[in-house]
């Protein structure tokens, strides 16, 4: 067997997430159908992350195996993209070591959450619209606290299947970009629904519903019911996946 990594991106608005669903269209299913048709052999695809319904990926890596080497991997990438709908694109196909794994070999992931404080038809489905203007300075003070902790049970999905809720957050900051405000968070791993739960709770700080000390207390309580409501899926983007250089060196980066 020969293993390949794919770099790709997708607008998640029309999909029930990355993972194949019994009663809904998924990005994984699209890719598997495309590869199975083009390569003329059943092909399974494994992604670096499992984005939820409506969540976007400006950059994600996935892997698949073939029984024989592919003569021109980049030509295959172009062929797959032509096969896929316009809201999914494959940028590259690269041969990797047989033990390289798009999910388990990753050492860091970065997400962005986009919000807008104005009605903007060009951001429909691409950013969450706020009906208030939050205090972003206070939200950044609260976000900085995330770097002091490693147990994020308070922001994990209830009854989730994760074996541990320990994550190492390396960056968490709000910045303005045009009409959008973008929250960037990077960690070695993320729990299911973690980013949206953090954003929802930070927005409670920004609107004065929570103090910065109360935000810290929520983390320490390790109780999801104390945190805020999860922010809408439409504002969330997976924007980067990092691997050790001996595993995979990326050829593409996408800025949203």
**Which of 46, 191, 160, 186 shows the shortest CA–CA distance to 104?**
46
Q: Residues in the chain, how many?
A: 256
Q: Residue 222: how many CB atoms within 10 A of its CB?
A: 15
pLDDT at 216: 98
Q: Could you say which DSSP state residue 24 is in?
A: B
Domains contained in the chain, CATH given = 2-105 (3.30.70.580), 108-238 (3.30.70.660)
Nearest to 11 by CA among 54, 47, 44: 54
29: three-class secondary structure by DSSP: helix
The string of DSSP letters for 122-184 reads GGTTTSEEPSS---HHHHHHHHHHGGG--B-GGGSPTT---S--B--EEEEEEEEETTEEEEE
Strand ranges, E, within the chain: 2-10, 46-47, 56-66, 88-96, 108-116, 128-129, 169-177, 180-187, 236-242
**Looking at residue 24, what is its pLDDT?**
86
| Other CB atoms within 10 Å distance of the CB of residue 149 | 16
Task: Provide the 8-state DSSP code for 3.
Answer: E
- Predicted confidence at residue 251, as pLDDT, reads 85
Please, are residues 30 and 80 in contact by the beta-carbon 8 Å criterion? Answer: no
Mean pLDDT for back-to-back runs of 10 residues, the chain (256 residues):
96 95 92 97 95 95 96 96 96 96 97 95 94 95 98 85 88 91 97 96 97 97 95 96 95 62
Contact 25, 16 (CB under 8 A): yes
Model pTM greater than 0.85? yes
Question: Quick one: how far is CA 206 from the chain centroid?
Answer: 23
Sorted by sequence, the CB contacts under 8 Å of residue 181 that are 6+ apart come out as: 114, 115, 116, 117, 136, 174, 175
- Structural contact between residues 113 and 196, judged by C-beta atoms closer than 8 angstroms: yes
C-alpha–C-alpha distance, residues 103 and 139, integer Å: 30
Active-site residues, by number, are 52
């Amino acid at each position: 067997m020969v293993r390949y990594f794919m770099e790709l991106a997708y607008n998640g608005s029309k999909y029930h997430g990355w993972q194949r669903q019994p009663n809904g269209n998924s990005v994984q299913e699209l890719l598997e159908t495309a590869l199975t048709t083009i390569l003329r052999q059943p092909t399974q695809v494994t992604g670096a992350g499992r984005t939820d319904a409506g969540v976007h990926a400006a950059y994600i890596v996935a892997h698949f195996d073939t029984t024989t080497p592919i003569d021109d991997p980049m030509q295959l990438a172009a062929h797959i993209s032509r096969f896929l709908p316009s809201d999914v694109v494959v940028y590259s196909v690269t041969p990797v070591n047989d033990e390289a794994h798009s999910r388990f070999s990753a050492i860091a992931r970065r997400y962005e959450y986009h919000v807008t404080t104005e009605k903007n038809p060009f951001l429909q489905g691409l950013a969450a619209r706020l009906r208030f203007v939050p205090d972003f300075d206070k939200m950044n003070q609260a976000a900085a606290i995330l770097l002091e902790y490693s147990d994020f049970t308070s922001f994990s999905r209830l009854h989730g299947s994760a074996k541990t809720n320990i994550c190492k957050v390396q960056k968490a900051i709000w910045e303005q970009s045009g009409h959008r405000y973008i929250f960037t968070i990077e960690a070695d791993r993320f729990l299911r629904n973690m980013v949206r739960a953090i954003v929802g709770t930070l927005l409670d700080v920004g609107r004065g519903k929570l103090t910065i000390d109360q935000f810290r207390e929520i983390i320490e309580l390790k109780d999801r019911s104390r945190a805020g409501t999860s922010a809408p899926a439409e504002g969330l983007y997976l924007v980067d996946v990092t691997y050790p250089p001996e595993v995979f060196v990326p050829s593409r980066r996408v800025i949203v």
